[in-house]
Amino acid sequence: MKISDKLMEIQAELQYINEEEQEAYDNTPESLQETDRYAESEDALSAMDDADGAIQEAIDYLSDWIG
């Protein structure tokens, strides 16, 4: 298995987790939206988006480099 294939698997798993977290975030009652947990969820979503972008860059780089 190529490294890019492994990265794609990791990316797919990360995207699944991100979707789950986004759903929980979106369904948080308004009364809880000022809590630390809500802020942590927002930070986690941002970090996962950044990680997804970095993984995609690595996949693209390897595809260009390896061919």
The one-letter amino acid code at 19 reads E
Question: Does 37 have pLDDT greater than 90?
Answer: yes
Tokens of 19: 């979707």
Q: What's the pTM? A: 0.84
State which H helix or E strand residue 49 sits in.
helix 36-66
Tokens of 60: 């693209």
* Cβ-contact 52, 18 below 8 angstroms: yes
Rounded-to-integer distance, Cα 23 and Cα 38, Å? 12
The mean pLDDT value for 40-62 works out to 96
Instruction: Give the mean pLDDT of the chain.
Output: 94
Please, which pLDDT band fits residue 67 given cuts at 50, 70 and 90? low
* Cβ-contact 9, 59 below 8 angstroms: no
